[in-house]
């Protein structure tokens, strides 16, 4: 065992799994505590709301002695006596605010959608804080903007010009001064309803002619950010250029497909980067990997134990778990030599999983 690590945040299974495979003993503080999280962790505490996370973190830290703390979304700024492995709290705050990210991009002359003055449409509205893109929306009139404000009262937001293209990201590791791009990802978004820009999966690697340029720009951004460890840079890419969109100063939801496609371990990359060690070169592609989050299309209960499908899925609910329409059920994988083959296998696996949903 290399050491004992506490992974804390809203969702931690992907990081706990990577840490386990890297040879660490893992404990977790997590909102979901799905069945497969228990396969990779020695101990777990489930919390309901992010307001409960500090108490859960404190409780877990009293149960065990830890060598390091690694945080995911929702826990980036939490104080703890456990040594943090990642971007220091005093440095991470600016990258949790989308207006500050906008100013960072502009100051570093990174191509980014411009901010729009009030009254200019169409506009992409984004809450200044929050992850996953679930409340992002395009508004074309003042009335549509007002409806969004009523849906999310009191939420501070930014208004950007609307950029059309393919949503993508680059996973990097950084040591505070230097960075190495690990993989490019095509992002899969919900594509409908009030959460049409919500993240619901990834395809790695992203097969686009501008990927090489994206990786170079992402390395420059990550190095200039001063962040340490794993960091993700989001882009929107068309046929001619890539616009940087956001910086995620933590493990991203693309961990699974990056590790499967590139044959690497992101947790070990993260720990090494925090010690000042970066890969000399980016890893080479082994295959194409895709992950898609399956959402409930109606209120339902999963009574079958889905662990028999563990080679096809992750974030596995406990038997008897009930879900409301729109809630995330399970992550489903596909893989292959090409994007088309990986997506075809994903579709087959989704059909298999749906047989168990009643």
pLDDT at 58: 97
pLDDT in tens, 283-298: 999 999 999 999 998 9
Both 104 and 147 in a single domain? yes
Both 81 and 104 in a single domain? no
Both 11 and 57 in a single domain? yes
Average pLDDT over residues 168-174: 98
Instruction: Let me know the angle formed at the C-alpha of 353 by 350 and 354, rounded to the nearest 5 degrees.
Output: 85
By residue count, the chain amounts to 358
Flag whether pLDDT at 347 surpasses 90: yes
pLDDT at 194: 75
With H, G, I as helix, E, B as strand and everything else as coil, classify residue 200.
Answer: strand
pLDDT at 128: 97
Question: What are the residue ranges of helices labelled H in the chain?
Answer: 13-21, 37-40, 53-63, 89-92, 98-107, 142-151, 211-225, 255-262, 266-274, 339-354
Is residue 114 a part of any domain in this protein? yes
Q: Identify whether the C-beta of residue 115 lies closer than 8 Å to the C-beta of residue 157.
A: no
Flag whether pLDDT at 272 surpasses 80: yes
Both 80 and 104 in a single domain? no
Given strand 228-237, what is the order of strands in its sheet? 242-248, 228-237, 166-175, 179-189, 199-204, 288-295, 328-336, 313-314
**What CATH number does residue 44 fall under?**
3.40.50.20
Flag whether pLDDT at 358 surpasses 80: no
Burial 42-63 (b: 16+ CB within 10 A, else e): eebbebeeeeebbebbeebbee
Residues of the domain holding 40: 4-85
pLDDT in tens, 78-89: 999 999 999 999
Is residue 186 a part of any domain in this protein? no
pLDDT in tens, 213-259: 999 999 999 999 999 999 999 999 999 999 999 999 999 999 999 99
Is residue 296 a part of any domain in this protein? yes
pLDDT at 356: 85
Candidates 216, 344, 219, 248; CA nearest to 288 is 344
Half-sphere exposure of 61 (CA within 13 A, CB side): 19
Flag whether pLDDT at 206 surpasses 80: yes
pLDDT at 357: 82
pLDDT at 192: 79
Both 125 and 149 in a single domain? yes
Which of 60, 85, 110 is a domain's end point?
A: 85
Both 56 and 106 in a single domain? no
pLDDT at 1: 76
Tell me which of 52-56, 100-104, 128-132, 208-212 is least confident.
128-132
* Percent of residues, the chain, with pLDDT higher than 70: 100
Mean pLDDT of the residues in the chain: 96
Domain count, the chain: 3
pLDDT at 257: 98
Is residue 190 a part of any domain in this protein? no
Which of 136, 161, 186 is a domain's end point?
A: 161
- Which residue shows structure tokens 């002619």? 209
pLDDT at 195: 80
Average pLDDT over residues 150-170: 96
Is residue 105 a part of any domain in this protein? yes
DSSP of 324-347, one letter per residue? -TT-EEEEEEEEESSHHHHHHHHH
Both 37 and 76 in a single domain? yes
pLDDT at 196: 87
Q: What is the DSSP letter of 239?
A: S
pLDDT band at 8, cuts 50/70/90?
A: very high
Flag whether pLDDT at 271 surpasses 80: yes
Both 57 and 118 in a single domain? no
Which of 17, 50, 85 is a domain's end point?
A: 85
Flag whether pLDDT at 345 surpasses 90: yes
Give the predicted TM-score (pTM) of the model: 0.97
Is residue 227 a part of any domain in this protein? no
Both 8 and 81 in a single domain? yes
Is residue 334 a part of any domain in this protein? yes
pLDDT in tens, 275-284: 999 999 999 9
Is residue 185 a part of any domain in this protein? no
């Amino acid at each position: 065992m290399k050491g004992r690590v506490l992974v804390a945040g809203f969702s931690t299974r992907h990081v706990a799994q990577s840490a386990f495979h890297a040879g660490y003993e893992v404990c977790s503080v997590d909102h979901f505590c799905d069945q497969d999280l228990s396969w990779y962790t020695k101990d777990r505490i489930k919390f309901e709301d992010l307001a409960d996370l500090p108490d859960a973190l404190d409780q877990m830290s009293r149960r065990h002695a830890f060598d390091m703390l690694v945080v995911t979304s929702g826990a980036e700024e939490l104080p703890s006596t456990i040594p943090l492995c990642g971007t220091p709290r005093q440095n991470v705050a600016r990258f949790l605010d989308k207006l500050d990210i906008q100013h960072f991009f502009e100051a570093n002359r990174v191509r980014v959608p411009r901010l729009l003055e009030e009254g200019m449409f169409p506009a992409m509205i984004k809450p200044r804080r929050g992850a996953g893109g679930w409340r992002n929306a395009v508004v074309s009139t003042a009335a549509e903007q007002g409806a969004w404000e009523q849906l999310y009262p009191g939420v501070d937001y930014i208004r950007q010009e609307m950029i059309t293209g393919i949503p993508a990201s680059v996973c990097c590791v950084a040591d505070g001064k230097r960075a190495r791009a690990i993989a490019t990802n095509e992002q899969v978004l919900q594509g409908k309803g009030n959460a049409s820009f919500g993240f619901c999966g990834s395809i790695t690697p992203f097969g686009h002619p501008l990927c090489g340029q994206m990786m170079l720009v992402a390395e420059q951004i990550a190095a200039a950010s001063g962040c340490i460890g794993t960091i993700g840079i989001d882009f929107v890419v068309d046929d001619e250029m890539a616009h940087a969109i956001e910086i995620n100063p933590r493990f991203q939801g693309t961990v699974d497909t990056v590790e499967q496609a590139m044959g690497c371990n992101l947790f070990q990359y993260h720990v090494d980067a925090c010690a000042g060690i970066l890969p000399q070169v980016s890893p080479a592609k082994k295959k194409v990997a895709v992950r898609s989050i399956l959402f409930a299309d109606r209120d339902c209960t999963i009574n079958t134990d889905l662990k028999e499908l563990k080679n096809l899925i992750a974030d596995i609910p406990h038997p008897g778990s009930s879900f409301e329409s729109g809630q995330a059920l399970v992550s489903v994988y596909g893989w292959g030599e090409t994007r088309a083959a990986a997506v075809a296998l994903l579709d087959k696996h989704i059909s298999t999983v749906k047989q168990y949903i009643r």
